[in-house]
Structure 1
């Protein structure tokens, strides 16, 4: 499956579910693991080669291409107890690879399950050997994804993270111009943040949703889903600029889980009162993840432009 976008942030001091579904895996092209170095110790050139264009935390000197699994899918390993450090509720991988092969006793990966961490195992790429196996899960087309409900998943409670990632992509696509968000769920999700980040004035670019089974409204920028298996964006047919969004969050906006029980036509009969539940309302205005916003910008070469660097430094 495509690398989950939720790696861009976590919720601190909260136990997280497994990042991946059982029976699936993903490959992270970014380096991961020790040695950890500050960006000023590495230099801008090497940092850019490793996909980091501005300071954001520490830079990994570990290998690229770690293989991510759900912890319950791993077999034939043991925990290296002297590397099992964590914050309070589990292991956070701070000491480097903490899993060893039961056969050869060499370190093969890192398990993380502490609070503030996605539950995941990262296998070292040199420890993974691909063997003949049954065919992988067939890639579903968009029609099948919508029909089977595969776009709605258990990570929907962490919607601020993919929203922060999408916000960063919108800001980059806008190129510093004002953005006018079409009224509706997209405006509820990103409207307040875009007003705070981008200038007001003439020449605003219109932002709206588009995608399979939903349509393609007239707009300059279109929030479109990213295929959860391949990582490919749904492509609009017109000349609008597609802006990638996590498919589960996109599906939540395009096809809200709340459905009214009112008749499709004609309304309620006279004397019958409406008794279907109202849609849920949050206690406070929605705020995209600022950490995910900066995480995404830090890995975008355009952040070196002065206007975008200023937004990165300010955050959302």
Structure 2
């Protein structure tokens, strides 16, 4: 049985079904049926919410699933820090990777949570669901994005020896922007980073892993939605790719934004060319397929070019966390 958990920004399975955590199994079943009727698209409900209600039932609808879900929800173990070196159980060589995905945002999360609470926290406290849920949105967002980056890195790890990935890539300092979502103020500026750079046989890609805690839409080459707010993830991704492109003297073939499966209606959504770069938004479960086959409209690399690009990136790219 595969147990999935809610992200730091998402409503819990109990909240989606509109019940308390102490509800009986019979009451839970009745609540689920009611929520299905309320959210069904054929009766005027919201299709995205309808899917979330079904997922919530998968998480806690059986006694076994509910017990496993409650164990993770109560301990916060699903949000605990990932190991520096991820265990690999595949039968073929893993992707060559540099940097530690999610580490920079986890560090910022702990710093901001400590500042918010005014005290030091143990690792268990920092991932206690009660403490996390009570933290300000911007603090929870850091943890959510760290988890998203780690999940993306795990997917990339399984691509194999023909792929190379750089995680938590340093893009320098953006002066005068200390309020950036992933800012770490340094002398009046904000450290900017690119979540992932992936060199694949299908091309060179800049990737950003996000979790907005809700459904998203697209308008004029940008992500919008109730939980997205004023942030501009596509513009930010392309800006940071440009920094790396200039530093390493390489040309990116495409930009990819990765979102949790439940936040995206289609597995793969092409936004066309934005600032002359093909942009694709994908569900996390579809990422490997896109990287293997190539993103829509992305520029393919020739055989010799792959080696040249890898050399240039290896010499120029600096990761924030080894």
TM-score normalised per structure 1: 0.27
**Higher gyration radius (CA):** 1
Q: Which has the higher contact order (CA 8 A, sep 6+)?
A: 1
TM-score normalised per structure 2: 0.27
